């Protein structure tokens, strides 16, 4: 009886301690959709909470020398109670450095007009910053990696080989995981190491691959990446380059047995093509010195071509052929491909491998693309001049 009583006491304190676990930010913030005057910041807490960002210009004063501006995670004017927080900050100045902190405050109970708040968790002060994009910047550099399939340990070596600290942005060109079955797939597979290495300070842009469309968690992708944008396809201007970020979807027909009737990517690509027709007419695109298309599925020829690639060829390429595209950067093949322009595809297609990293450097006269292996050895190089 005494042993039973001791066990019950232990169980009570164990359960009570678990129930009273303090709120924490379990996944530190990362930058999404950096533009010239706006950015979206995403982070994750371990308890239902409201979230906000403190922001100050980096003017070499104390973070709290002046009162920081506050930006909340809201939905239609109401502070959102959530585990995943995303805040879109607007009204920023191009080419300007800012410092920020993120917060999460636990919501214990929300009853009618009464809200019971709990503890607050926050990131450290003076550890997080970013610099907004600037189309007038004379030079820009970027890094692209793809087809990691959860090999998180490869990412630091790739970033180091490409000298990531000098890059303005990092592009994930799809298949960073093999399937989307949980939040842990994302963070253990590639985001934890990415946040730790760069993504809290250097913006990361994501062109979804076909493997991110698979799994029970696939429909939550947009909650973590480009969460404040209407679509997963968009334009980005930085310096002399306009990036066209496409979402090429699955690589097989929607009717393929692997998808169990859950996909509708053929219509999705048709809708996306209509957006693309207008996007390439925008000033962001037409006024850029270089036009770079990011697309996971490359439009290639031969017996290995899958339906999704053919759909890209038939729906996207005719639009891009008339839009003075300089190059398409692709992935998916798990090997390098350097396809020269031809009568059907009037621009080069460069596909990065699954164990190599691409570094691009552009100025007003030239775009140089260098592909390196994990040891930093150059395995391919493409140089493009302004037309």
Distance, in Å, from the CA atom of 28 to the CA atom of 122, rounded to the nearest integer, reads 10
Whether residues 270 and 357 fall in one domain: yes
In a domain, 48, yes or no: yes
Phi, psi of 311 (to 5 degrees): -65, -40
Q: Of 256 and 187, which is predicted with more confidence?
A: 187
pLDDT at site 19: 55
Whether residues 155 and 36 fall in one domain: no
Whether residues 95 and 167 fall in one domain: no
Residue with tokens 């592009």: 171
Answer yes or no: is pLDDT of 86 > 60.
yes
Answer yes or no: is pLDDT of 5 > 50.
no
Residues 235-256 have pLDDT tens digits of 999 999 999 999 999 888 877 8
The CATH number linked to 326 is 3.60.21.10
- Helices marked H in the chain — which ranges? 2-19, 154-161, 183-186, 192-194, 221-224, 265-279, 283-286, 307-315, 317-321
CB atoms within 10 A of CB 122: 13
Q: Which domain, by its residues, includes 216?
A: 140-385
CA 348 to chain centre: 24
Answer yes or no: is pLDDT of 6 > 60.
no
Distance, in Å, from the CA atom of 85 to the CA atom of 52, rounded to the nearest integer, reads 8
In this prediction, residues 167-188 reach a mean pLDDT of: 96
Answer yes or no: is pLDDT of 4 > 50.
no
Residue with tokens 């003017």: 59
Question: In the structure, what pLDDT confidence band is assigned to residue 34 with cuts at 50, 70 and 90?
Answer: very high
Question: In the structure, what pLDDT confidence band is assigned to residue 306 with cuts at 50, 70 and 90?
Answer: confident
CA atoms within 13 A on the CB side of 88: 16
Whether residues 79 and 224 fall in one domain: no
From 131, 151, 171, the end of a domain falls on 131
Whether residues 230 and 302 fall in one domain: yes
Residues 277-305 have pLDDT tens digits of 999 999 999 999 999 999 999 998 766 67
CA atoms within 13 A on the CB side of 148: 32
Q: Among positive and negative, which fits the CA dihedral 178, 184, 189, 190?
A: positive
Whether residues 245 and 334 fall in one domain: yes
From 131, 157, 181, the end of a domain falls on 131
The CATH number linked to 103 is 2.60.40.10
pLDDT at site 2: 44
Question: In the structure, what pLDDT confidence band is assigned to residue 213 with cuts at 50, 70 and 90?
Answer: very high
Whether residues 115 and 151 fall in one domain: no
């Amino acid at each position: 009886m005494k042993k039973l009583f001791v066990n019950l006491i232990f169980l009570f304190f164990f359960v009570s301690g678990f129930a009273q676990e303090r709120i924490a930010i379990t996944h530190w913030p990362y930058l999404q959709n950096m533009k010239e005057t706006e950015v979206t910041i995403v982070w994750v807490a371990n308890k239902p909470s409201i979230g906000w960002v403190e922001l100050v210009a980096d003017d070499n004063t104390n973070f709290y020398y002046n009162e920081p501006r506050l930006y909340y995670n809201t939905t239609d004017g109401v502070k959102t109670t959530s585990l995943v927080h995303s805040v879109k900050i607007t009204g920023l100045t191009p080419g300007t450095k800012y410092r920020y902190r993120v917060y999460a405050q636990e919501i214990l109970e929300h009853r009618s007009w009464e809200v019971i708040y709990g503890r607050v968790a926050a990131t450290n002060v003076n550890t997080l910053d970013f610099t907004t994009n600037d189309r007038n910047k004379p030079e820009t550099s970027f890094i692209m990696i793809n087809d990691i399939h959860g090999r998180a340990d490869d990412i630091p070596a790739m970033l180091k080989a490409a000298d990531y600290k000098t890059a303005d942005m990092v592009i994930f060109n799809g298949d960073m995981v093999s399937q989307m079955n949980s939040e842990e797939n994302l963070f253990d597979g590639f985001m934890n190491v990415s946040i730790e290495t760069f993504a809290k300070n250097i913006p990361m842009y994501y062109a979804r691959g076909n493997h991110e469309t698979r799994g029970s968690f696939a429909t939550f992708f947009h909650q973590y990446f480009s969460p404040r944008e209407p679509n997963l396809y968009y334009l980005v201007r930085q310096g002399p380059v306009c990036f066209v970020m496409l979402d090429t979807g699955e690589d097989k027909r929607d009717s393929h047995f692997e998808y169990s009737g859950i996909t509708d990517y053929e219509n999705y690509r048709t809708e996306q093509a209509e957006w693309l027709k207008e996007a390439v007419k925008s000033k962001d695109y037409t006024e850029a010195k270089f036009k770079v298309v990011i697309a996971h599925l490359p439009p290639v020829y031969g017996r290995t071509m899958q339906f999704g690639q053919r759909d890209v060829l038939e729906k996207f390429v005719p639009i891009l052929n008339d839009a003075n595209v300089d190059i398409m950067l692709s992935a998916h093949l798990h090997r390098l491909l350097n396809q020269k322009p031809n009568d059907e595809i009037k621009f080069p297609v460069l596909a990065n491998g699954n164990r190599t990293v691409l570094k691009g450097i552009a100025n007003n006269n030239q775009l140089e693309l260098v592909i390196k292996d994990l040891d930093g050895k150059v395995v391919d190089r493409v140089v493009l001049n302004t037309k």
